Structure 1
Amino acid sequence: MTVLVAIALTTGILSGIWGWVAISLGLLSWAGFLGCTTYFASPKDGVKGLGLSIVTNLSGVFWAMVIIHLSSMFSLEIIGYVVTAVVAFMMCVQAKKSWLNFIPGTFIGSCATFASNGDWQLVIPSLILGALFGYTMKTSGLWLHAKLQQPNSNLTAAKAK
């Protein structure tokens, strides 16, 4: 079994479990999948990738709330666009900090917040649990692949003798 198939298998199983967990806890399953996607797309693996995914998603939630609140303070629609432009600039510039340097993670968190009409209290746990599920999907897939390869390695070593 290839690494891809092993990760696909564990991702499929855990995606079904995530759907059930999200509904059971009253979370946004789609936002959890965005958190999961953030982890899979992260340039870092393992716990560092998980941390980067969560931190950048949460920064995106913050920036979306800034846009929502500042835009609502003015009745002139153009102000909302100016605020969006300035905040989008800030979302990119924050990547100068190594712990915020995954810009897509920031935009994913922001988009999830907009899609939920600013319900950050629901978006945050959904994104975090989704990222944890993404980490578990990949880690368990790599574990499965390694376990399935062990017998083949022993067999190959025995043939070599």
Structure 2
Amino acid sequence: MKNYLGVAVSIGVLAAVWTQVSVSLDLVTWVGFLAWACYFAAGTGRVGFTRGLAANLSGLAYGWLVAAFIGVASFPGALAIAVGVVAALMCLQAGWSTLSFIPGAFVGAAAYFGTAFSFWPTAIALVVGALLGWASGVLGTRLQVAVDGRTRTTEPPVAPAQAAA
């Protein structure tokens, strides 16, 4: 438990701040948390930030394309076809390193649909959420170093499977 104290405190404090600020400014709170989670799921650091946010924003764009297509296509199955094509494209884009976090693209598209097609509020919340992920990672590391009593990190943390061996 001590190994996670820094990140727990940083996320707890920043989550409270984000909730208060986003509610006060009428931002989409839950979308920010989705992007924040993507930061950690995509690997943290610069890589987690760029891959998570790029994938989230690409998903947002794909969601917009689906909405635009179904706005003009009136044949039966148009929505299913659009979603199928876009889902395939979100997987294929993973061939580019920056867009390789496939779940992030699905999160971005789902967030767009979940906000009732609100493009800019979704985009803002995705960007802020990714920034909060980065900030909580940096702050969490600094707090953890202080808790551990070290001036710098010399070894990566031991994974539970490695500790048992």
Q: Identify the TM-score tier after normalising by the shorter chain.
A: 0.7 to 0.9
Structure 2 residue aligned with 1:73: 72
Cα drift, residue 147 of structure 1: 1.2
8 Å CA contact 1:3–1:142 kept in 2: the answer is: no
3-state SS in 2 of match to 1:137? helix
Structure 2 residue aligned with 1:112: 111
8 Å CA contact 2:56–2:109 kept in 1: the answer is: yes
**Percent of residue pairs identical:** 31
Structure 1 residue aligned with 2:38: 38
For 1:99 and 1:60, locate their aligned partners in 2 and report how far apart those are by CA, in whole Å: 13
Structure 1 stretch displaced more, 22-31 or 117-126: 22-31
8 Å CA contact 1:3–1:141 kept in 2: the answer is: no
Cα deviation per residue 1:73-114 (whole Å; 9 max; x = unaligned)? 122241110111011100100100111000011111110000
3-state SS in 2 of match to 1:110? helix
Letter of the structure 1 residue corresponding to residue 27 of structure 2: L
TM-score, normalised to structure 2's length?
0.86
Question: Which protein shows a greater Rg?
Answer: 1
How is 1:72-91 mapped onto 2 (pairs within 5 angstroms)?
Answer: 72-91=71-90
Cα drift, residue 152 of structure 1: 10
8 Å CA contact 2:6–2:147 kept in 1: the answer is: no
Structure 1 residue aligned with 2:17: 17
Cα drift, residue 5 of structure 1: 2.5
How large is the Cα RMSD of the aligned pairs? 1.8
Structure 2 residue aligned with 1:92: 91
Q: Report how many residues are paired.
A: 152
> Please, which runs of 5 or more residues in structure 2 have no aligned partner?
153-165
> Please, which runs of 5 or more residues in structure 1 have no aligned partner?
154-161
8 Å CA contact 1:8–1:141 kept in 2: the answer is: yes
Tell me if 1:48 matches 2:50.
Answer: no
Cα drift, residue 45 of structure 1: 2.5
Cα drift, residue 151 of structure 1: 6.2
For 2:112 and 2:23, locate their aligned partners in 1 and report how far apart those are by CA, in whole Å: 18
Letter of the structure 2 residue corresponding to residue 104 of structure 1: P
For 1:152 and 1:49, locate their aligned partners in 2 and report how far apart those are by CA, in whole Å: 25
For 2:151 and 2:117, locate their aligned partners in 1 and report how far apart those are by CA, in whole Å: 51
